[in-house]
């Protein structure tokens, strides 16, 4: 089988799928999405769904703002949505150093338009009556932060892909790129994107797949926790990794009613929680665990997560668990996204949400689509976020996003 497309997107997670949708929306006639398994079967269907604008860097804030706006606009745009629920997000502080860092962060976030405010210790206890009182030195709170329902997000992008006419090919694996393919532009079938000229220069590339080559002028590579592997197949070294991440949901309890529990991120510990169907959903990675793919539940570490949660939310101590899972979460060395053209490969763009694909995914996807089409984006300035920020050893020139789960800093493939 040999065929052609205006653009080929690799990976049917939230980044690749929304990117394919945005490329189609931009006017490309034939967009093909290839997914080696089923849509959403990577990290995207297994996430906790937390969406926050309270990012640790301006890039994180902008991506959070854009994605949240997109979630709110979905119903009008595609007829369904990812289930965004405005819950409010509290980041409590336990030390004076955390208080100072939180105030500096809040200033940056407020300057970018995030309605974040400081709560003193009494206000923290009042807003969250399930929290053991008198524990914090205060915290930052944003009422507009919230969560999506990850499986619903997969359903929403599936609808968007089908309705917009993206050609979805499940169970088709990406195997590599062959330069000089016969792009559809070369055949005169390319469509000029409205307001954004195509920059494929007619050279084209052959995307090698398990079902034969697809000739195209534009390729977007995604892969979440498998992005390094996808990159290797394309001849690229991408310093992205995967690490085990565990999520559990407690039984219901009247104290855990949605109206009484904001989302909370115990940043120093790396533990977060939010209400879920009358119980509490909580999640965490073990920062001392070597990176790599892992979906087995670690009961020993779960006990540590539960102990920390029970110290802060005592009502959870006696509650059973209704659901429990472990999955591989993507990460980058600086916990920031990767959005940029692949060095040395014409027409190839790389996109990764760096472990924040629920809160940043649509923004990363739209920015990647823009970069693929024009080289820049109005979502945010992507110029610092390309692969050229990493040195040979995978170290980033950028400061690490301080509001991130404590993932391993090492990259499995390095």
Ligand X SMILES: Cc1cc2nc3c(=O)[nH]c(=O)nc-3n(C[C@H](O)[C@H](O)[C@H](O)COP(=O)(O)OP(=O)(O)OC[C@H]3O[C@@H](n4cnc5c(N)ncnc54)[C@H](O)[C@@H]3O)c2cc1C
Question: Quick check: 357 binds ligand X (CB under 6 A)?
Answer: yes
Number of residues that bind ligand X (CB under 6 A): 43
Binding of ligand X by 225 (CB under 6 A): yes
- When asked if residue 245 is in the footprint of ligand X (CB under 6 A), the reply is yes
Strands in 285-412 per DSSP E: 321-331, 338-341, 348-352
CA distance linking residue 359 with residue 237, whole number of Å: 26
Minimum distance of ligand X from residue 230's CB (angstroms): 5
User: If binding is defined by CB under 6 A, does position 13 make contact with ligand X?
Assistant: yes
Of 4-12, 112-120, 125-133, 256-264: span binding ligand X (CB under 6 A): 4-12
Binding track over 160-179 against ligand X, x by CB under 6 A: -------------xx-----
Q: How far is CA 137 from CA 96, 119, 133, 140, in A?
A: 8, 9, 11, 11
Q: Could you say whether residue 12 binds ligand X (CB under 6 A)?
A: yes
Closer to ligand X by Cβ: residue 72 or 173: 173
Q: H or E stretch including 33?
A: strand 31-35
Q: Which is nearer to ligand X, 34 or 198 (CB)?
A: 34
Q: Which stretch binds ligand X (CB under 6 A): 9-17, 94-102, 369-377, 380-388?
A: 9-17
Taking CA atoms, 103 is separated from 109, 133, 223, 315, in Å, by: 10, 22, 35, 30
Residues 6+ apart with CB under 8 A from 192: 27, 198
The interface region with ligand X, picked from 92-100, 305-313, 324-332, 377-385 by CB under 6 A, is 324-332
Nearer residue to ligand X within complex by CB, 223 or 291: 223
Rounded to whole angstroms, how far apart are CA atoms 398 and 390?
9
In this chain, which of 30, 36, 306, 389 binds ligand X, going by CB under 6 A?
Answer: 36
Give me the residues paired with residue 206 across strands.
178, 215
What is the residue-wise DSSP string for 177-193? Answer: EEET---TTTTT---PB
Please report whether residue 311 would count as binding ligand X according to CB under 6 A.
Answer: no
Per CB under 6 A, does 50 bind ligand X? yes
Which window, 5-13, 162-170, 333-341, 393-401, contacts ligand X (CB under 6 A)? 5-13
Residue closer to ligand X, measured from CB, 198 or 353:
353
In angstroms, the Cα distances linking 195 to 17, 32, 142, 192, 363 are 22, 22, 35, 8, 19
- Asked if 330 touches ligand X (CB under 6 A), the answer is yes
Cα gap 53→62, rounded to integer Å: 8
DSSP sequence for 17-31: HHHHHHHHHTT-S-E
Note whether 413 binds ligand X by CB under 6 A: no
Interface pick for ligand X out of 14, 128, 250, 286 (rule CB under 6 A): 14
Q: Which of 124, 161, 247, 313 binds ligand X (CB under 6 A)?
A: 247
Buried b (16+ CB within 10 A) or exposed e, 375-400: eebebbebebbbbebbeeebebebee
Interatomic CA distance for residues 234 and 236, integer angstroms: 6
Quick check: 212 binds ligand X (CB under 6 A)? no
Residue 267 binds to ligand X (criterion: CB under 6 A): no
Confirm or reject binding of residue 8 to ligand X (CB under 6 A). no
Q: Which of 55, 139, 224, 262 binds ligand X (CB under 6 A)?
A: 224
Handedness of CA 13, 19, 25, 31 (dihedral sign): negative
Residues that bind ligand X (CB under 6 A): 10-16, 34-37, 41-44, 46-50, 173-174, 222-226, 230, 245, 247, 283, 327-330, 352-353, 355-359, 361
């Amino acid at each position: 089988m040999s065929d052609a497309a205006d653009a080929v997107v690799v990976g049917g997670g939230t980044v690749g799928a929304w990117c394919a949708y945005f490329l189609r929306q931009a006017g490309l006639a034939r967009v093909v999405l290839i997914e080696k398994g089923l849509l959403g079967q990577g990290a995207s269907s297994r996430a906790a769904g937390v969406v926050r604008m309270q990012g640790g860097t301006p890039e994180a804030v902008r991506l959070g703002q854009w994605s949240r706006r997109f979630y709110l606009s979905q119903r009008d745009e595609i007829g369904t949505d990812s289930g965004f629920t405005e819950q409010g997000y509290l980041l409590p502080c336990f030390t004076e150093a955390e208080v100072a860092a939180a105030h500096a962060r809040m200033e940056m976030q407020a300057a970018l338009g995030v309605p974040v405010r400081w709560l003193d210790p009494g206000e923290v206890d009042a807003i969250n009556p399930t929290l053991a009182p008198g524990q914090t030195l205060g915290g930052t709170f944003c009422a507009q932060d919230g969560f999506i329902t990850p499986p619903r997000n997969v359903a929403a992008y599936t609808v968007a892909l089908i309705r917009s006419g993206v050609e979805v090919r499940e169970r088709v694996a990406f195997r590599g790129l062959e330069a000089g393919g016969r792009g559809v532009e070369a055949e005169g079938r390319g469509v000029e994107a409205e307001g954004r000229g195509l920059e494929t220069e007619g050279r084209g590339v052959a995307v090698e797949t398990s079902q034969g080559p697809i000739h195209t002028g534009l390729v977007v590579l995604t892969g979440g926790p498998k992005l390094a592997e996808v990159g290797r197949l394309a001849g690229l070294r991408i310093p992205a990794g995967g690490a085990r991440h565990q999520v559990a949901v407690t039984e219901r309890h009247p104290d855990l009613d949605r109206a009484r529990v904001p989302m909370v991120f115990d940043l120093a510990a790396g533990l977060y929680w939010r209400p879920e169907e009358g119980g509490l959903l909580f999640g965490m990675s073990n920062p001392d665990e070597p990176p790599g793919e892992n979906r087995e539940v670690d009961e020993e570490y779960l006990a540590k997560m539960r102990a920390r949660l029970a110290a802060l939310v005592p009502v959870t101590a006696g509650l059973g668990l209704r659901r429990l899972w472990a999955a591989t979460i993507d990460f980058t060395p600086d916990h920031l996204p990767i959005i940029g053209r692949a060095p040395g490969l014409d027409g190839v763009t790389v996109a990764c949400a760096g472990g924040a694909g629920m809160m940043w995914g649509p923004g990363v996807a739209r920015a990647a689509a823009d970069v693929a089409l024009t080289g820049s984006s109005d979502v945010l300035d992507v110029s610092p976020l390309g692969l050229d920020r990493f040195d040979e050893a995978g170290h980033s020139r950028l400061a690490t996003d301080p509001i991130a789960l404590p993932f391993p800093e090492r990259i499995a493939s390095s």
